[in-house]
Amino acid sequence: MYKTKGLKNSRIEVADALRGIAVMGIVLYHSVEHFNLGTAGSASLSFPFDGTVFNILTVLLSGKMYGIFALLFGLSFFIQRDNQAQKGKDFSLRFAWRMVLLFGFGVINMVFYNGDILTFYALLGLLMIPAGYLSTPVLWGLTIFLLIQPVEIYSLITGWKPDISPMMKYYGALGPANAEGTFLESASASLKNGFLASWYWFIWKGRVTQTLGLFFLGILFGRHRLFYNEGNHLKIWRIIFCVVTLIIAAGVAFGQWSHGDVTFGKINSLLRPLFNLAILLFIVSGVTLLWYRFAGFRKSLSHICFFGRMSLTNYLMSSIIGCTIFYGWGLAMYKYLGVTLSLLTGIGIVVLQIVLLYQWSKHHKRGPLETIWRKLTWLGSE
């Protein structure tokens, strides 16, 4: 059973910077996908190089930004739990209540955007409570087991495959309502079908076990204090960086480009998530090494730390702004903007959010939704 080491958990600014990068990447990729509406390839304002732009963005962003988000979600859980343990308190029930609140934020987000992940993070996040009690060696074993895609391995060995056939039915109900319906019709369709559509998509892409594995990996990184510049931690990050670089190079060499991603033939369902994991760790290790190695890099990224600290606010805000731009009940730009113009629109959304929340950060330590979440989390604690 794991017990706190009693070491102070100071604010990890590089984690805030990584969280900010992840949120920006999510907004950009959502914009290119027209917030799950797709059809960018048939938009009237397209360019010949749109396909190349989409391929690059898919390799860099798809599955990686959410993965960084998941990793840091686990890290945040560890810090909160460890801080309470140092005070002699158990954080389990309080965290469970916190996940109930997060699920509520996810439902609000789903009113606008049918691809919400907060509801999934809230449900899967509950499993971090028992994981937090496990000894570090046991948790490492469980984490590795989840990250190597056990369902996909079992599927390859036995020939069994999970039934995802209902997925298209749910997406089929979402498309027309989001593209042509009124706001109420779109919101109703998203609330009715969005969660189930995303759940089957998570299963299809191997995201269930990998997301949970990344939660646990974040807990372990917290236990080992890897995001602090202590001891030989930077050496560990250099080893991680070199290993995943070799994995990525091998993946590119042996994989084939298809629809903006690297595919590996019959074992694609197994290797694609692992390839995404390698790129994710490449980004995390690279940013962490640069952060502690170069003052100029640290100074430049420090300007987006506030953006990462307000990730919940940013996520919901981007859904409201983005869906207003692309959905039929708003400006219906999904009809007109191809990949490149959608990317530029996403950059505009990010810039707008930075401007607005920078002004907020001058007077508030946390974002508006983070403040509400925190106050409700600790309701009745005094």
Contact 230, 147 (CB under 8 A): no
Rounded mean pLDDT, 348-368 = 93
Q: Report the distance separating Cα 67 and Cα 283, nearest Å.
A: 11
CA distances in angstroms from 112 to 189, 266, 315, 316, 381, listed in the order given: 10, 37, 12, 9, 33
Three-class SS state of 116: coil
Pairing of the two strands 256-258 and 261-263? antiparallel
Q: Supply the pLDDT for residue 44.
A: 84
CA distances in angstroms from 144 to 64, 323, 352, listed in the order given: 18, 37, 39
Q: Report the distance separating Cα 290 and Cα 254, nearest Å.
A: 29
Rounded mean pLDDT, 246-266 = 77
Three-class SS state of 45: strand
- H or E segment at 237? helix 233-254
Q: What is the pLDDT of residues 110-156, one digit of tens each?
A: 999 999 999 999 999 999 999 999 999 999 999 999 999 999 999 98
**Structural tokens at position 253:** 């060499």
Question: Of 7-16, 26-35, 98-107, 256-265, where does mean pLDDT reach its minimum?
Answer: 256-265
Q: What share of the chain is helix, strand, coil (3-state, %, to 5)?
A: 75, 0, 25
pLDDT over 70 percentage in the chain: 98
Three-class SS state of 250: helix
Conformation bin of residue 46: beta by default, left when phi > 0, alpha when psi is -120 to 50: beta
259: pLDDT confidence band, cut at 50, 70 and 90? low
Conformation bin of residue 45: beta by default, left when phi > 0, alpha when psi is -120 to 50: beta
Q: What is the pLDDT of residues 221-255, one digit of tens each?
A: 999 999 999 989 999 999 999 999 999 998 888 87
Q: Supply the pLDDT for residue 260.
A: 57
258: pLDDT confidence band, cut at 50, 70 and 90? low
Contact 272, 263 (CB under 8 A): yes
Q: Where are the domains of the chain?
A: 13-377
Buried b (16+ CB within 10 A) or exposed e, 253-263: eebeeeebbbb
CA distances in angstroms from 106 to 194, 315, 329, listed in the order given: 11, 10, 21
Question: Of 42-46, 50-54, 247-251, 328-332, where does mean pLDDT reach its minimum?
Answer: 42-46
Contact 310, 370 (CB under 8 A): yes
Q: Is the pLDDT assigned to residue 270 strictly greater than 70?
A: yes
Q: Is the pLDDT assigned to residue 104 strictly greater than 90?
A: yes
| Beta-bridge partner residues of 258 | 261
Rounded mean pLDDT, 312-340 = 96
Within a 13 Å sphere around the CA of 107, how many CA atoms are in the beta-carbon half? 8
Q: What is the pLDDT of residues 169-178, one digit of tens each?
A: 999 999 999 9
59: pLDDT confidence band, cut at 50, 70 and 90? confident
Q: What is the pLDDT of residues 333-355, one digit of tens each?
A: 999 999 999 999 999 999 999 99
Pick from 173, 169, 199, 172: nearest CA to 188: 173
**Structural tokens at position 105:** 């934020």
Q: Supply the pLDDT for residue 378.
A: 93
* Torsion angle of the four alpha carbons 160, 163, 165, 166, in this order, in degrees rounded to the nearest 10: 180
Q: Is the pLDDT assigned to residue 187 strictly greater than 80?
A: yes
Alpha-carbon radius of gyration of the chain: 21
The number of beta carbons lying within 10 Å of the beta carbon of residue 114 is 31
Q: Supply the pLDDT for residue 201.
A: 93
Q: Supply the pLDDT for residue 65.
A: 93
Q: Supply the pLDDT for residue 31.
A: 96
Q: Supply the pLDDT for residue 41.
A: 64
Q: Supply the pLDDT for residue 257.
A: 61
Q: Supply the pLDDT for residue 245.
A: 96
DSSP annotation of 255 reads S
Q: For all residues of the chain together, what is the average pLDDT?
A: 93
